[in-house]
Amino acid sequence: MEIRKISATEVLPVRHQVLWPDKPMSFCMVPGDEHATHYGAFVGEQLVCVASVYVQSKEARLRKFATLPEFQGQGVGSKVIAHAIKDLQAFNVSYFWCDARASALGFYQRFGMAVEGSEFEKSGVSYYKMAVHWG
């Protein structure tokens, strides 16, 4: 498996297939995509996992993190997040956060992230804000 930075256009098919298959492709775009850092995990030439990180000053937000179903539970997503965190720490980012689906809290807790605030809903899905502070 190889992790590399990819374009905003390249992340869309995986985002669409995994996160919002019942919505139009345009629903999977995020304002600021053109300025974000997009990570892709490849098995051979197949893009199997994407994560997008939006940095403002010393704060970074993870959005639209998705792994193809047949590659879930194999550590691919964990390696992508660890890779992104290493990059962020090298750039002295001190606060990393995301809106985590309620079903994924345990995954983010493994990276030191903790729930901040109460449960909320977006497009019929339950979420929590999760974050980690460094430094």
Q: What is the pLDDT of residue 123?
A: 84
User: Taking Cα atoms as reference points, which of 37, 89, 92, 94 lies closest to residue 63?
Assistant: 37
- The string of pLDDT tens digits covering residues 103-133 is 999 999 999 999 999 999 998 889 999 999 9
| pLDDT average, residue stretch 27-31 | 92
User: Which domain covers residue 9, as residue numbers?
Assistant: 2-133
Provide the whole-model pTM. 0.93
Q: Name the domain count of the chain.
A: 1
Q: What H or E segment, with its residue span, contains residue 13?
A: helix 8-18
Q: Is 29 left (phi over 0), alpha (psi -120 to 50) or beta?
A: beta
Task: Kindly tell me if the per-residue pLDDT of 135 is higher than 90.
Answer: no
pLDDT by residue (tens digit) across 46-96?
999 999 999 998 999 999 999 999 999 999 999 999 999 999 999 899 999
The domain that holds 13 is classified in CATH as: 3.40.630.30
CA distance 74 to 20: 22
How far is the C-alpha of 35 from the C-alpha of 100, rounded, in Å? Answer: 22
